[in-house]
Structure 1
Amino acid sequence: METKEFQFKGLTLSGFAMLFLNILLTVLSAVMVVAGFVWCQHELLAGLLIGVGFALLAVTLFVWGGFVMVEPGEARVMMFFGKYKGTYTNVGYSWVNPFINTKKLSLRARNLDAQPIKVNDKTGNPVMIGLVLVWKLKDTYKAMFEIDSQTMAQSGGAQQVGTSVSNVMLAFENFVKTQSDAALRQVAGLYAYDNNDSASKELTLRDGADEINKQLEEKLDERLSMAGIEVVEARINYLAYAPEIAAVMLRRQQADAIISAREKIVEGAVSMVKMALDKLSSEDIVELDDDKKAAMVSNLLVVLCGDDSAQPVVNTGTLNH
């Protein structure tokens, strides 16, 4: 994506060298002013010393406004009378033109743990869903000029809105939170919470975590890129039915689980009965007619599919009695 951000190419000097020079100028100006008022007896020379001393003092005060300190993970947006002059990211203590207005931005990764919100899934069921998002500023030009940071900070309840990095980053956090809620609602509405049909292969919020998280990241990136914000990671960290339908849906899930378990039990029991009949027939252990096979199948299925343990009964008569 095209960006208007570029590195600051204006004059920059070592902050420590300028600090040392400025201290010397301050001391020199003070000495000249004192000398003009106290020591110098010549009126013209005294006036000259005082005038030059105050001029140097004014210069030192002007120089003090050009010191800039940039920490790792920070950037300074450089503005010259309202015109963007670049982004300064050189770590350390520097000095720039005091007429340049510098605005500090943090490029460090930030975390948003969004509280669960109520949304309707694809089938219309209300669900509670939340996310955790890791984001950071990538494009300082868009971050500074594409969104109204002061309005966003005020909407977030900030007491004092200014150019401080805390207030500016608060504005971005409010923007990210609003867009995250919108993206989460959009993605949650595309999928059902769970499949009612166990044979269905349709992607759901409950089972399709990786695919849905990937789509959530894409939706968030589309919404946040306009503000120069990069989505590092986005994950759904909370998913549940809304309280008003949670009990009903829990009973449905329990019923589905019981049915699925019964299907497995019946499938296994039929397989075992077939194996027993085939083995009796293939090894000529006993010959059974259709009625006896039916009785044997019935008894085995009752034993294998029953919830309680079967009580053995010994038949002391013949097969016909």
Structure 2
Amino acid sequence: MLKEENKYVEKEIKALSGIVALIGVLLFLAFSIWLIISGIMKISQYTSGGGISLILGILFIILDIILASGLRILNPNEALVLVLFGKYYGTLKKEGYYWINPFCSAVNPTYSSPITTPKTLTTDSNDVAISTTSKKISLKTMTLNNEKQKVNDQLGNPIIIGVVAIWRVVDPTKAVFNVENYKTFLSIQCDTTIRNIARLYPYDVSEDGDEKSLRGSSQEIADKLKEELQTRVNVSGIEVTEVRITHLSYAPEIAAAMLQRQQAEAIIAARKKIVEGAVGMVEMALTNLNQTNLVDLDEERKAAMVSNLLVVLCANKDTQPVVNSGSNY
């Protein structure tokens, strides 16, 4: 596999300046036109050599058109991967105006003719544009919106997850020759990475648990996604800058049940806090009464007071006071 990856090593070519080449092409065109005019004049004057001049002028114009086809403009963050008669010729990455061998052709696996409808890759989760109308390879940072897909977490629960990947082509030679279509390759590998990482973590963990989860460990999950996706797409010359989860939820068929469970856990946790606070307040009240000697309570009356205070502090609704008109004893 490693040998296959390194089969095509990027070779940056040094092309001739396009301005110099353009001047030469224009001068050659002017010379060709002069030969044609000279030949026509000689033929009209029945002077020898007119036919040769005319033929040479026509041939030179055809040659000039071929030479002019080698003029190329390369914008910033673009690259041209060139082949010559089926063999890798070199890669042009520096922006500018150049002249290259007119028999070289640019290769881009995502190229689609402007007169045809651009192709898209349709998956269960998204539609990804996999074709362009230019044979130049873009080196700009791009975004792959994987949107939403259904996967299973560590516990087997079906969840809906969507991610966005920030990526760019860093080795256009590998992107062209090592995979059929690098955009399609990236999209499919992104789907595979999401499924592989999601099954390693549960959707959520309990409040007291220190286990990593998809919902609670977003930064760690993002790092794992980026690391694995980068490993998978190295062969295509793509650099993954960042991978982030954009959507995370339970699948509709279990969402209601999981919501009830989360609500129950929240209620239990809240009740626990309320009881802990109430016990502390009752303990503080008894301590203050004993220290100030405001009232002398036996164990039975202490138990009754504790019960009343806990009812007041832990009740869901406001308690109604009862006035005792009789004796406390």
Measured against the shorter chain, the TM-score band is 0.7 to 0.9
Give the distance between the partners of 2:48 and 2:324, measured in 1 at CA. Answer: 139
Q: What is the aligned partner in structure 1 of residue 91 from structure 2?
A: 87
Gaps of 5+ in 1: 150-171
- Work out the percentage of aligned pairs sharing the same amino acid: 43
Q: Quick one: which amino acid aligns to residue 168 of structure 2?
A: K
Shift of 1:237: 0.6
Q: What is the aligned partner in structure 1 of residue 123 from structure 2?
A: none
The reply on whether 1:184 has 2:216 as its aligned counterpart is no
Q: What is the aligned partner in structure 2 of residue 156 from structure 1?
A: none
Shift of 1:7: 4.5
Gaps of 5+ in 2: 108-135
Mapping for residues 27-42 of structure 1, pairs under 5 Å: 27-40=30-43, 41=45
Shift of 1:38: 3.1
1:281 corresponds, among 276, 286, 290, to: 290
Give the distance between the partners of 1:225 and 1:115, measured in 2 at CA. Answer: 23
Q: Could you say what the CA RMSD is over the residues aligned between the two structures, in angstroms?
A: 1.9
Bigger relative CO (Cα 8 Å, ≥ 6 apart):
1
Which has the higher mean CA deviation after the structures are superposed, 63-72 or 42-51? Answer: 42-51
Q: What is the aligned partner in structure 1 of residue 240 from structure 2?
A: 231
Give the distance between the partners of 1:223 and 1:137, measured in 2 at CA. Answer: 14
Give the distance between the partners of 1:66 and 1:206, measured in 2 at CA. Answer: 55
Q: Residue 210 of structure 1: SS of its match in structure 2?
A: helix
Deviation digits for residues 55-74 of structure 1, max 9, x if unmatched? Answer: 32132122112111111110
The reply on whether 1:75 has 2:107 as its aligned counterpart is no
Shift of 1:244: 0.7
2:314 corresponds, among 292, 305, 319, to: 305
Q: What is the aligned partner in structure 2 of residue 241 from structure 1?
A: 250
Q: What is the aligned partner in structure 1 of residue 23 from structure 2?
A: 20
Give the distance between the partners of 1:93 and 1:77, measured in 2 at CA. Answer: 16
Shift of 1:53: 1.3
Q: What is the aligned partner in structure 2 of residue 144 from structure 1?
A: 176
Q: What is the aligned partner in structure 1 of residue 58 from structure 2?
A: 54
Q: Residue 75 of structure 1: SS of its match in structure 2?
A: strand
Give the distance between the partners of 2:158 and 2:273, measured in 1 at CA. Answer: 32
- TM-score, with length taken from structure 2: 0.84
Shift of 1:274: 0.7
Q: Residue 49 of structure 2: SS of its match in structure 1?
A: helix
Mapping for residues 148-297 of structure 1, pairs under 5 Å: 148-149=180-181, 172-195=182-205, 197-297=206-306
Q: Quick one: which amino acid aligns to residue 57 of structure 2?
A: G
Give the distance between the partners of 2:326 and 2:183, measured in 1 at CA. Answer: 84
Give the distance between the partners of 2:297 and 2:88, measured in 1 at CA. Answer: 96
Deviation digits for residues 166-190 of structure 1, max 9, x if unmatched? Answer: xxxxxx3322211111100011101
CA contact (8 A) 2:142 2:168 kept: yes
Size of the aligned set, in residue pairs, is: 296
Q: Residue 199 of structure 1: SS of its match in structure 2?
A: coil
Q: Residue 319 of structure 1: SS of its match in structure 2?
A: coil
Which has the higher mean CA deviation after the structures are superposed, 270-279 or 30-39? Answer: 30-39
